[in-house]
Amino acid sequence: MMSMADHPAFNVLLATCPSRTSLARIANKWTAMVVIVLSDGRKRFGDLRTAVEGISSKVLTETLRDLERDGLVERHAYAEMPPRVEYELTPLGRTLHAPLQALSHWAEQHTEEVQTARQTYDARD
């Protein structure tokens, strides 16, 4: 059975609703790519940096910190030399995989249509 409590009155369209903060975090290309890579399993910092082509150390660090802060990713640091740090999705983070994967699939599947539309738009008058 579902009660009212299962449906809090959160609405991203409302300016002051805290859910908008959550949306802003996940509706982000780097977040999407990092989560997709991490859903394959625990990954080291350097491996993430390689897998998510083109991301810089700084942006990867920030993205991971934000995800950790929001309880979506867990950080495991080992006191070794050279250092080793691994990241993995929390159970909450794993629930993000499906929606973000869907978004990426959309991007991949409709890229050609988007490119065509863009060329048409840019070519007109």
Partner DNA sequence: GGTGCCTGGTTACCGATGGTGACCATGGAG
Partner DNA sequence: CTCCATGGTCACCATCGGTAACCAGGCACC
The contact set with a second copy (CB under 8 A) reads: 8, 10-15, 18-29, 31-33, 36-37, 51-54, 68-72, 92, 95-96, 98-100, 102-104, 106-118, 120-122
Distance of alpha carbon 115 from alpha carbon 123, whole angstroms = 12
Q: Which of the listed partners (a second copy, DNA, none) does 62 bind, with a CB threshold of 5 to 8 Å by partner kind?
A: DNA
- Of 89, 103, 86, which Cα lies nearest the Cα of 23? 103
CB of 11 to a second copy, least distance (A): 7
**Which residues have C-beta within 8 Å of that of residue 22, sequence separation ≥ 6?**
70
Distance of alpha carbon 60 from alpha carbon 58, whole angstroms = 5
Give the binding site for DNA (CB under 7 A). Answer: 28, 30, 44-46, 54-59, 61-62, 64, 75, 77, 81-85
